[in-house]
């Protein structure tokens, strides 16, 4: 059942490629704007790189949250999910996984290429990619709670950013922090361990909280 | 056995109905009647457990549906106003995924047989967005052919269907009731179904 949901969402993403590409291009363009506007000041670019890439990743991931449940809500599939014998948290986990595969993974793959614009050294690019790999699933999982809470509301898109962005802050701090620590010659293990811990905690709590919010939104 | 006791539905500060009680036995049909806005869909959603009654209790074989949750849902097929068909998926994919979601995994062969039975032969591979309203409805109702559930809750199943399709669905309901299934439905059309027991529930 879990795989049916993942497979279905991936199939839908393939059929509507524009949705996926907008998120990715948004990320690429936002990250590329900074070197163009700041100018070729290498030291400054290197300092701001982790923060810029991470903030762009947060915004890009949030951009696609509105679609996470709203299409299923509008065509009645969500009602059927609530009525499935399978537990709703499990289905939600499947949807979050599909969301990450479609929006998170392309960002992770694109980040090292974009990092070159900021003259990041190779090992910093590596740490940046690893931190995004651990952090972006957390964004999808936390975002799912916000998307479920604002389902069917007018102006839900703005509300979802107000709800979700503050919750993204710890991920941002430790994600960008890992790269900064690496460039400062310090160890980055602690940052990555904390990101891993965030991932585990959100894996356990987010599907449950999202399922509860969906039930409330559907009443 | 599906039982409702003293159900009250409140939407905002309006009370749609109160004190609705009924018992649907095996092989029984309940038709919910009433003008637009009288709470038919709200009642059906309550029976599915999608929303809670303001007062009263719904039981399935003597146990509250709230406490049964997944066990109740595995005996229930609900087809609402919104049919849950995805525009970007083909009729075949829609049917297979909808069945899988309700806990019945069917093969491609079974799915295309069911669609052919619903008069959609040759259109299985078309995306749902190019199908007409009635054809989309048929795709949604094809789920009934492959479902093994006892209780069917159908909200306006005959809307947008042509005469042939209405006959087909009536036959399907007849067969389900003869096999000891239960049907709760709303419709504004005259239907002609023989059931072991028929309840006409009138909402004001």
Question: How does pLDDT run across A45-55, given as a tens digit for each residue?
Answer: 988 999 999 99
Both B1 and B71 in one domain: the answer is: yes
pLDDT tens for each residue of B135-152: 999 999 999 998 889 999
Residues of A contacting chain B (CB within 8 angstroms): 1, 4-5, 8, 11-12, 15-16, 71, 74-77, 79-87, 218-219
Q: What is the pLDDT of residues A69-127, one digit of tens each?
A: 988 898 889 999 999 888 899 999 999 999 999 999 999 999 999 999 998 999 999 99
Residues of chain A with pLDDT > 90: what percent?
A: 63
Q: Is the pLDDT of residue A22 over 80?
A: yes
Does residue A181 have a pLDDT over 80?
yes
Residues of B with CB under 8 A from a CB of A: 48-52, 70-71, 73-74, 76, 78, 80-89, 93, 97-98, 100-103, 127
Rounded Cα distance between A52 and A132, Å, is 13
pLDDT band at A154 (very low <50, low <70, confident <90, very high): confident
Tokens 């159908």 belong to: B154
ipTM for this model: 0.88
Q: What is the mean pLDDT of chain A?
A: 91
**Cβ atoms within 10 Å of A104's Cβ, excluding its own:** 25
Asked if the Cβ–Cβ distance from B85 to A74 is below 8 Å, we say no
When pLDDT is cut at 50, 70 and 90, the band that residue A39 belongs to is confident
Q: Which residue segment(s) compose the domain that B21 sits in?
A: 1-75+149-204
Angle value at C-alpha A215, between A161 and B12, nearest 5 degrees: 90
Which residues on B lie below 8 Å from A16 (Cβ)?
88
- Residue A133: the pLDDT is 96
Last residue of a domain, one of B113, B132, B147: B147
Smallest CA–CA separation between A89 and chain B, in Å? 12
Query: How many angstroms separate the first and last alpha carbons of chain B?
Result: 25
pLDDT of residue B43: 92
pLDDT in tens, B17-73: 888 899 999 889 999 998 888 889 999 999 998 888 899 999 999 888 888 888 898
Of B130, B147, B164, at which residue does a domain stop?
Answer: B147
- B127 and B181 belong to one structural domain: no
Residue B138 DSSP SS3:
helix
Domain boundary among B147, B170, B190: B147
CA distance A41 to A201: 40
Do B55 and B137 lie in one domain? The reply is: no
Instruction: Identify which has the larger pLDDT, A115 or B84.
Output: A115
Same domain, B11 and B46: yes
Shared-domain flag, residues B173 and B130 = no
* The pLDDT of residue B204 is above 80: no
pLDDT tens readout for residues B89-116: 999 999 999 888 888 888 888 889 999 9
Closest CA–CA distance from residue B139 to any residue of chain A (Å): 14
Number of domains in chain B: 2
Q: Is B66 in the same domain as B102?
A: no
Contact state of B88 with A75 under an 8 Å Cβ cutoff: no
Same domain, B133 and B180: no
Q: Nearest-CA neighbor of A215 among A133, A92, A102?
A: A92
**Same domain as B192, residue B173:** yes
Grade residue A170 by pLDDT with cuts at 50, 70 and 90.
very high
Give residues with Cβ within 8 angstroms of A193, minimum separation 6: none
Q: Give the residue from chain B lying closest to A218, CA to CA.
A: B50
What's the residue count for chain A?
A: 219
Q: How many CA atoms lie within 13 A of A9 on its CB side?
A: 28
Residues B103 and B36 placed together within one structural domain of the fold = no
Q: Are residues B153 and B131 in the same domain?
A: no
Contact A82 B50 (CB under 8 A): yes
HSE-CB of A53 using CA atoms within 13 angstroms: 36
- C-alpha–C-alpha distance, residues A190 and A213, integer Å: 33
For residues B90 and B188, membership in a common domain is answered with no
Q: The domain spanning residue B2 has which CATH number?
A: 3.40.50.300
Same domain, B95 and B187: no
pLDDT digits 0-9 by tens, B151-168: 999 999 888 888 888 989
The tokens of A27 are what?
């990320």
Angle of CA points A105, A154, A151, to nearest 5° = 50
- Cβ <8 Å between B70 and A86: yes
pTM: 0.90
């Amino acid at each position: 059942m879990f795989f049916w949901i993942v497979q279905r969402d991936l199939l839908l993403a393939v059929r509507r490629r524009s949705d996926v590409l907008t998120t990715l291009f948004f990320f690429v363009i936002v990250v590329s704007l900074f070197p163009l506007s700041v100018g070729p000041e290498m030291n400054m670019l290197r300092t701001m790189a982790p923060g810029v890439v991470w903030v762009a990743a947060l915004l890009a991931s949030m951009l696609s949250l509105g679609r996470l449940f709203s299409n299923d809500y509008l065509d009645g599939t969500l009602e059927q999910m609530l009525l499935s014998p399978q537990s709703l948290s499990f289905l939600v986990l499947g949807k979050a996984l599909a969301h990450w595969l479609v929006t998170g993974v392309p960002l992770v793959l694109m980040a090292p290429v974009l990092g070159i614009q900021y003259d990041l050294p190779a090992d910093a690019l590596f740490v940046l990619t690893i931190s995004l790999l651990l952090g972006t699933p957390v964004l999808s999982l936390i975002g799912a709670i916000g998307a479920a809470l604002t389902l069917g509301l007018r102006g839900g898109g703005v509300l979802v950013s107000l709800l979700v962005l503050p919750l993204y802050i710890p991920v941002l701090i430790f994600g960008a922090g890992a790269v900064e620590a690496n460039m400062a010659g310090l160890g980055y293990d602690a940052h990555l361990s904390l990101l891993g811990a965030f991932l585990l905690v959100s894996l356990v709590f987010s599907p449950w909280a999202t399922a509860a919010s969906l039930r409330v939104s559907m009443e | 056995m599906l039982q409702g006791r003293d159900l009250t539905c409140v939407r905002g500060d309006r009370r749609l109905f109160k004190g609705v009680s009924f018992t649907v036995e095996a092989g029984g049909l309940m038709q919910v009647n009433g003008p637009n806005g009288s709470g038919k869909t709200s009642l059906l959603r309550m029976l599915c457990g999608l929303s809670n009654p303001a007062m009263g209790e719904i039981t399935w074989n003597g146990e509250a549906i709230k406490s049964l949750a997944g066990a109740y849902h595995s005996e229930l097929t609900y087809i609402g106003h919104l049919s849950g068909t995805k525009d970007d998926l083909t009729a075949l994919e829609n049917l297979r995924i909808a069945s899988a979601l309700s806990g019945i995994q069917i093969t491609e062969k079974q799915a295309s047989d069911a669609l052919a039975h619903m008069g959609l032969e040759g259109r299985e591979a078309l995306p749902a967005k190019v199908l007409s309203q009635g054809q989309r409805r048929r795709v949604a109702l094809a789920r009934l052919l492959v479902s093994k559930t006892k209780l069917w809750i159908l909200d306006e199943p005959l809307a947008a269907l042509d005469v042939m399709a209405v006959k087909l669905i009536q036959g399907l309901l007849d067969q389900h009731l003869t096999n000891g299934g239960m049907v709760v439905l709303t419709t504004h059309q005259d239907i002609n179904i023989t059931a072991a027991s028929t309840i006409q529930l009138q909402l004001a």
